[in-house]
Structure 1
Amino acid sequence: MDTSRIDARELAPTGVLRAAINIGNPILANLNPATGQAQGVSIDLAQRLAGLLGLTLQQVIYDTAGKSVEGVTGGEADFGFFAIDPKRGEQIAFTTPYVLIEGSYLVRQDSPLTENAQVDHPGRTVVVGKASAYDLFLSRELKHATITRAPTSPAVVGAFLETGADVAAGVRQQLEAGAQEFGGLRLLDGHFMLIRQAMGVSRSRDARQAAFLTDFLEDAKASGFVAEALARHGIQGAAVAPAA
């Protein structure tokens, strides 16, 4: 990939490439229980980018997507990995997506709900992770059900059980893990949204930076790097986004 179109100092003005890493989405990043270090597809991409630019990578770790957005817009990090959303787009300039992830609903085994369309009814409560892509999407789309918010996405299933809510919403794989851990739960078929994961920089930065990162991701997809990273980390249910 040609990196001559951008000066590394533009993207990393401190001299170190600072990547906002959200460990609240285990499809893309999580902490290795043995080492305590972050690992995952987003870390692999950040390391690849730093290597191309000849820079040292610094991981700036956050436990929620909302904090990750604030880190990039507040100047704590140079770029981050986010679900594309129009509300976030007011502050973040997104690249094209590199991974597609399903957002799904989880209910109790004896719930009368059998399909996604039945969720949005008066009197029903849906638990989501605060400021997650699902929170932003469902806050716009649900007209009748009530939304309650867990502090983080990994805490959604626990909050769902503790509060007696009707539905939990989030990353399908995360909900599946919760269903296996606690038992007596099931996922509704299909998905209520398809999440497009991208990279992004603050809109206060030069537009050429987001364009450069888009080229970087398109190259990573075309070369097979993203698919190989998903396979290497054993990620199921996430697909490489089509070429732009």
Structure 2
Amino acid sequence: MQTENGGKSKVSDGTEPQVESGINLDKIEKIKADLETSLETVLFWLTCIWFGIAGGFIAIALEDRSAWFLLEYTHFPFCMGILCLILYNATDNYYVLNVFEKRIFYHFKVFWFKKITPFLNSEDIAFIGVTSIYCSNDDTIWHEYKIILVDRKGNSIPLSDPNQNLQTTNQKAKLFAQILGCKFEEGREKASIQIDKSANGEVAARLVDEMVMTSDQRAAASRKIYWMVIKGTGCIVIVALPTAILITIFLLGRH
């Protein structure tokens, strides 16, 4: 689906912002905002962890003949990896924007079980924009972009996976803002979304260039990344620690 993209960033203020994506929505009922949700991400990494444990057992057994007994214990992590892989492929979660109702619904599906629940109304949405994500690999530096929705409580909710096509991401975000009738700002390189909350609880969001971010804002961003790492590590520990304990018990029991 193609949309028209303006050359400059446009911000519409007021309760009924004028956001034009260049698409006639009269004949469109629903728009799908597909992305990899947290559940799908967890299932993916659990698959990698379980297969990694099974592969580690096999590698140790092949390296040291005295550890061949480890092959007896590869069945459990291998089966768990297969189970997580099946669940990952059977899971299909995404958001649906209803054009006529101006609401967002959450689509949850695992195997044959499917459930669609209301997620946000248009009046609960404060802002939709495109944020820039700094990426680096050895000597290569680039930016990726994803659509972010900010609700009236100040929560930021991703509506797309990161990608390197800024123009396409802006077009899609503009379409979402047109459907929901909320404030919108086009993304640009090296600009991220800043969320401010006033004393009376009002939420305001805008794009801020990386170079003009204050030390407090950078510290807040660092804390957010820190807690994301902590949560991710916690999920890994929950799976890896019981497995390590079982392995230790098995090893001690053989001597």
TM-score category, normalised to shorter length? under 0.3
With structure 1 as the length reference, what TM-score do the two structures score? Answer: 0.23
The structure with the greater share of residues assigned to helix is: 2
With structure 2 as the length reference, what TM-score do the two structures score? Answer: 0.22
